Amino acid sequence: MSEIVFEKKWDFGVFQTWNEKPPFETFHVHQVHGIDFLQENSSGQADGISGTQTRPWAIKTADCLPIVIIGHRGHVFMHAGWRGLAQKIHLHHEVEKIAPFYVFVGPHICADHFEVSSDFTENFPKSNNLKQSNDGKYSFDLFGQLVSDLKEKFKDITVENAKQCTFELPHLHSYRLNKTEQRNWNIFTYFR
């Protein structure tokens, strides 16, 4: 049964995470771990949605970051895993053109559980978000990388974290935990 497992409300909109496809119509893209954006009512492969919103937008995740960015000239909603962050989807021209000032990141895997190999550093050679533990294992902080990049590009931007780890919380789906095919349906509805 589909139900809301996380919710955040503002005066400008609402973000919800559903445990499966919600029982209402949404616009969602065919996500491919890339950096392309689509406008609502277009079709194709993309990891971001921009433009005018006439119905709720959906981004599906199972550990990656579902990111809402609000700007003075619009809003965008995107999916970013390490590949998207490495390719800078969060700094895309669709983000720049809305003059962003606020970012909200929904449930995602926390740094403690995002283990990577030592050669992962090649993807983020100047990052401070790759940590090595005492036992020699490496982990990467997706949210930390997002914040670092956004603050460098947009000095006064505010970034908020849902603080809901998909790996730790049983009501959320995590691919890293159990290779699940299920996805968290992250829904953003902007109020005009």
Residue 122 lies in a domain: no
Residue 39 lies in a domain: yes
Q: What are phi and psi of 147, to 5 degrees?
A: -60, -45
Residue 23 lies in a domain: yes
Give residue 155's domain range.
4-109+142-190
Mean pLDDT, range 62-81, rounded to an integer: 98
Q: Which of 143, 141, 150 is nearest to 102 (CA)?
A: 150
Q: What is the SS3 assignment for 179?
A: coil
Q: What are phi and psi of 20, to 5 degrees?
A: -160, 180
Residue 130 lies in a domain: no
Provide the whole-model pTM: 0.96
Q: Distance between CA 100 and CA 37 in Å, rounded?
A: 16
Judged by average pLDDT, the poorest of 2-6, 17-21, 80-84, 122-126 is: 122-126
What pLDDT score does 140 carry? 97
Residue 124 lies in a domain: no
- Residue 94: CA atoms inside 13 Å, Cβ hemisphere, count? 21
CATH of the domain at 96: 3.60.140.10
List, for residues 23-37, the tens digit of each pLDDT value. 999 999 999 999 999
List, for residues 129-141, the tens digit of each pLDDT value. 999 888 889 999 9
What pLDDT score does 118 carry? 85
Per-residue confidence at 41, pLDDT binned at 50, 70, 90? Answer: confident
What pLDDT score does 136 carry? 87
Residue 52 lies in a domain: yes
Q: Distance between CA 20 and CA 46 in Å, rounded?
A: 20
Domain count, the chain: 1
CB 168 within 8 A of CB 110: yes
Q: Which of 34, 24, 139, 12 is nearest to 79 (CA)?
A: 34
Beta 74-80 vs 184-190: how paired, if at all? Answer: unpaired
List, for residues 167-187, the tens digit of each pLDDT value. 999 999 999 999 999 999 999
Residue 99 lies in a domain: yes
Residue 185 lies in a domain: yes
> Residue 121 pLDDT more than 90?
no
What pLDDT score does 192 carry? 72
CB within 8 A of 96, min separation 6: which ones?
A: none
